[in-house]
Amino acid sequence: MDVLIDRRPRGASRQRVVKLGLRHPAGTKTRRRPRSSPAGKAQPRRRLDLTQILTLGAVLATLALAIPQYIASQSALESTRSQSVNLQQQQITERFSKAVEQLGTPDNLEVRIGGIYSLERIARDSEPDHPTAVNVLTTFVRENTKALRDPQGSCPNQAVSADAQTALTVLIRRNSAWDDPGSRIDFTDACLQQAVLTELVAFVADLRGADLRRANLRDASLMDTDLRDVNLGGARLTNIRLRGVNLGRADLSDADLRDVDLGRAYIGPIGYSRP
C-alpha cells in the first residue's frame, strides 16, 4: 500500500489525498463484475416462447384455410355474373325477335306500335343493342313510307302514318351518344309529309330525295347531312342547324327559314317546286 501526501503552501488548508492501490500477484487477472441493465429495461428475449409459437401456427393455419375459400368464392361470384349476363342477353334477344315480328304484322296498327315501343325499351336497356334497334326503326320508316310512292315516284299527298310517326318520335328521343359512329340514319326517298321531327339529332344522315313537305324540323340538328333532292316545301325549319349539309337541288319553297344555321353548307340550285 502506498500513501501520498500533498503538501500545499502555507496559509492553505492541507488535504490528504490518499490513493490506495491494490497490487495483484504477477500473472493473475482481475475479474470484472457483470454490468447490470438499467432499471426498468428488460433484456431482449433470444427465443420465442411456446405461446408465441402456438399463436403463429394458428395464424398460418387460418390463412391456409381462408385463401382457398376466398378463391373459390370469387370463382363462384364470377360464374354467377357470367350466367346473369348470358341470361340477360338471351332475354334481350327474345324481346328483340318478338318486337321485329310485331313490326311486320299487317293490318294491326296497335301491334306494330307495341313493337316500336319494345325496341325503344331495348335501346334504353342495352347500349350494345342500341344501334341495332335504331337501324331497325329507321329501316321500318324508310321502307314502309317509300313503298307509298306511285309509279311516277311521287309520294301521296297525305300525312305520315301513325306507326311511322311513332317510330320517328322514338328516334328523336333516343340516346344519340350510344349511336354507332359507323352507321347513320337513312331516310332516302322516304315519304315524310307533315312529319314531326322537332329536335331530331341526325349527324351525317342521308335524306336524299326524301319528301318532307310541311314537316316540322324546328330545333333539329342535321349537320353534315346529305339533303340533295329533298323536298322541304312549306317545311318549318326555324332554328335548325344545317352546318355542312349538301342542299343541292333541294326544294325550299315556302319553307320557314328563320334563324337557320347554314355554316359551311353547300347550297346549289334551290327554290323550285316539284309536283
pTM above 0.85, yes or no: no
262: left (phi over 0), alpha (psi -120 to 50) or beta: alpha
Tracing cell 343541292 back to the chain, one arrives at 248
Which parts of the chain sit beneath pLDDT 70?
1-48, 83-85, 270-275
Structural domains of the chain sorted by starting position, each given as residue range(s) with its CATH number in brackets: 82-275 (2.160.20.80)
List CB contacts of 134: < 8 A, sequence separation 6 or more.
Answer: 123, 171, 174, 179, 180, 183, 185
Angstrom distance (rounded) from CA 194 to CA 209: 16
- Residue 39, pLDDT score: 52
Instruction: Extract the C-alpha cell encoding 186.
Output: 337513312
- Residue 130, pLDDT score: 96
- Residue 34, pLDDT score: 53
What one-letter code names the amino acid at 168? L
- Residue 18, pLDDT score: 42
Q: Which helix (H) or strand (E) holds 47?
A: none
Is 118:136 a contact under the CB 8 Å cutoff? no
**Which has the closest alpha carbon to 262: 273, 79, 232, 275?**
232
- Residue 16, pLDDT score: 46
* Residue 224: exposure state from Cβ atoms within 10 A (0-12, 13-18, ≥19): middle
